[in-house]
Amino acid sequence: MLLSGGAPHGLDWVGGPCREGSALSSGYEKGEVQMCHTVYPWHSNHRGELSAGQLLTWVDTTACLAAERHAGVSCVTASVDDIQIEETARVGQNICIKAKVNRAFNTSMEVGIKVEIEDPFTNLQKHVCTAFSTYVAKPAASKKVYLKPVRLQLSQDHLEYSLAAERRRIRLYHEDAYSNLMEEGCTIYDAEWENDQNKILTDSTRVESIELVLPPHANHQGNTFGGQIMAWMETVANISASRLCRTHATLKSVDMFKFRGPSTVGDRLLFRAIVNNTFQKSVEVGVRVEAFNCEEWTGANGRHINSAFLIYQALNSKGEYRMFPRVKASTKDSIRRFRGAIARRKIRVARKYILSTKQEKNISHPWDKGNQAYLSYNNIATLSVLAANNGWELSSTLPNIRICTHEENDILSIKVEMQVKVQSQQAYFLLSDLGLRPNWDMHYLSCEVIETAGEDDKIFHITSPPVKQSKSRDFVILMSRRYTSKQGDPYVIAMRSVTLASHPPTTEYLRSEVQCAGFLIHSLGKDLCQVCYLNQLTPGILPYVEENLTGWSNSIEETASSCIKFLETAQVYTTLL
């Protein structure tokens, strides 16, 4: 693979001072670098905030220095994983960037980067972003270098070492996952988008910009500095997004930079950007970079050296995120970009949660006679609030099935809407008997009642099959159901984890938890209803759906189809309830 990147001139990672910042102190382990900067006006945008391009430049510089410190030879940037920007630094604040090699893979290595804001007046620190970059050792004379293993000392080192292998696997299969989702995307039909008469063309968001690579833009190997390329890409993408929303846009995340080839001093870099799709409060902009030398400049096509997809949001005068208009997809190229943005968003959301290193919080509440009324109410109310949330994004469709996702406060939820040819009351009784669920849900091995607290509240012990060579999982679940007699109101079946002294965790199973899940059943007619299944995903649930989220399987769709078939063929059962 041809690559680009590396640290620019003037940055000395051996311990000496760096331009505008301090790169390294002698107390750091080999393969670990810290760089600190004060945000000055020339680093900022029109709002006095650190520009996203400057942030990307500093991140790539610091990560490259860590890679080269571990390798002992020059390194270049191969790719940068998705970046989620959570906070913005302002002029006068300090940016602290820590980079560390997590794992070496023969000639490439993963570098983890953590960025924080430090306020010099309050000493408060805020997390800006976490990123993972892949670097390749590129010694002089193209001599191949095999990297030495990373020395692991702390428990966190071992954790990141293990997770680096999983992240690498997902990187390598990224293109296949994208192709799978693009094929699946042909079946997505969004009625709201189809009926919107105010969709706009994105032609006005096209941006082209040319940059001449000068010596200050090059790294110590004479190639264009990867951080500089990313900064230029962010500039044209920002202009494209701002043209759509008619205000200044703010970068919120980046979908994997992948360097495809090098460029050198004297090259002309052509940047092309255009809006691909909008997702309510965010917009995706695609950027493509081509390089030309003097001889190639008269030709039609340059060398493709980089592509990336950047996601922006915009604030209104009240400080609230703006809603973006839907965009038209009429030409062959616009349809490809439109569908591609949907597939990338699905992968991006999945990566964000599947690769998170956050530990699962204890979300179960103890169950006893004194709090059962509260827990039952909370169970029903939480599911009802989740279902009523705005901002659900369509993920995929099949006949009579719609699957949506929702993100809020770093929590990912899924919603599966199923149209079933059965009376709503009948579906309610069948679905609230969890003992029947193993008949149609592949994720249920067994389900037994272990305590009854009235007709509408029961506690179940559920076992689920193993995932990724781990142990089978088990759950202790409170199921609360509500029968409705008022026309228009749904039947509700809510589930959440509770702690029961009589059923503590065992060595046989990996005890996991459910935060909020269940069914809402709406009547659509005499023998027709809509069954809506919701689940607020926890780390204990994610392993069962992650391949579906990334496009590797259709397990959710298959389970939904099985549920519909079960409900429509088990009608006689309701006479026994």
Please give the full DSSP string across 83-151, using - where no structure is assigned.
EE-----BTT-EEEEEEEEEEEETTEEEEEEEEEEE-TTT--EEEEEEEEEEEEE--GGG---PPPPPP
Check residue 23 and give its pLDDT.
43
Check residue 21 and give its pLDDT.
43
Checking if the pLDDT of 13 tops 60, the result is: no
pLDDT in tens, 237-257: 999 999 988 888 888 888 878
Check residue 110 and give its pLDDT.
92
Tokens of 18: 């760096």
Check residue 573 and give its pLDDT.
47
pLDDT in tens, 309-356: 999 988 887 778 888 888 888 788 888 888 888 888 877 777 776 655
Query: Which string of DSSP letters, residue by residue, matches 338-378?
Result: HHHHHHHHHHHHHHHHHT--PPPP---EE--TTTHHHHHHH
Cα→Cα distances 530→133, 417, 423, 437, 521, Å: 45, 7, 10, 18, 6
d(CA 386, CA 536): 8
Check residue 208 and give its pLDDT.
94
Q: Are 99 and 112 in contact (CB under 8 A)?
A: yes
Checking if the pLDDT of 552 tops 90, the result is: no
Check residue 344 and give its pLDDT.
84
Checking if the pLDDT of 55 tops 50, the result is: yes
Check residue 285 and give its pLDDT.
94
- Residue 185 pLDDT class (50, 70, 90 cuts): low
Q: Which residues contact 485 (CB under 8 A, 6 or more apart)?
A: none
CATH class of 359-576: alpha beta
Check residue 184 and give its pLDDT.
64
322: alpha, beta or left, given left = phi > 0 and alpha = psi -120 to 50?
beta
Check residue 469 and give its pLDDT.
67
Check residue 563 and give its pLDDT.
95
Least confident of 166-170, 360-364, 373-377, 406-410: 360-364
Check residue 11 and give its pLDDT.
35
User: What mean pLDDT is predicted for residues 140-168?
Assistant: 79
User: What mean pLDDT is predicted for residues 145-153?
Assistant: 86
pLDDT in tens, 281-318: 899 999 999 998 877 665 567 889 988 999 998 888 77
d(CA 289, CA 531): 47
Domain regions of the chain by residue span: 32-353, 359-576
For the chain, percent of residues with pLDDT exceeding 90: 36
pLDDT in tens, 414-438: 999 999 999 999 999 999 999 999 9
Segment of 43-57, 326-340, 426-440, 473-487 carrying the highest mean pLDDT: 426-440
Q: Is 50 helix (H, G, I), strand (E, B) or coil?
A: strand
For the chain, percent of residues with pLDDT exceeding 70: 88
**CA angle at residue 320 from 318 to 325, to 5 degrees?**
115
Q: Which helix (H) or strand (E) holds 163?
A: helix 155-172
Q: What is the largest CA-CA distance in the chain?
A: 82
- Look up the pTM and report it: 0.70
Tokens of 305: 């050296």
Per the prediction, the chain carries an average pLDDT of 83
Segment of 8-12, 141-145, 331-335, 465-469 carrying the highest mean pLDDT: 331-335
User: What mean pLDDT is predicted for residues 376-396?
Assistant: 86
User: What mean pLDDT is predicted for residues 148-153?
Assistant: 87
Higher pLDDT, 298 or 465: 465
Tokens of 47: 């709002």
Check residue 432 and give its pLDDT.
92
Checking if the pLDDT of 176 tops 60, the result is: yes
Q: Are 51 and 248 in contact (CB under 8 A)?
A: no
Tokens of 506: 């065992």
Domain 32-353 has CATH 3.10.129.10: yes
Check residue 10 and give its pLDDT.
37
Check residue 186 and give its pLDDT.
52
- Residue 361 pLDDT class (50, 70, 90 cuts): low
Check residue 568 and give its pLDDT.
92
Higher pLDDT, 32 or 221: 32
Check residue 15 and give its pLDDT.
30
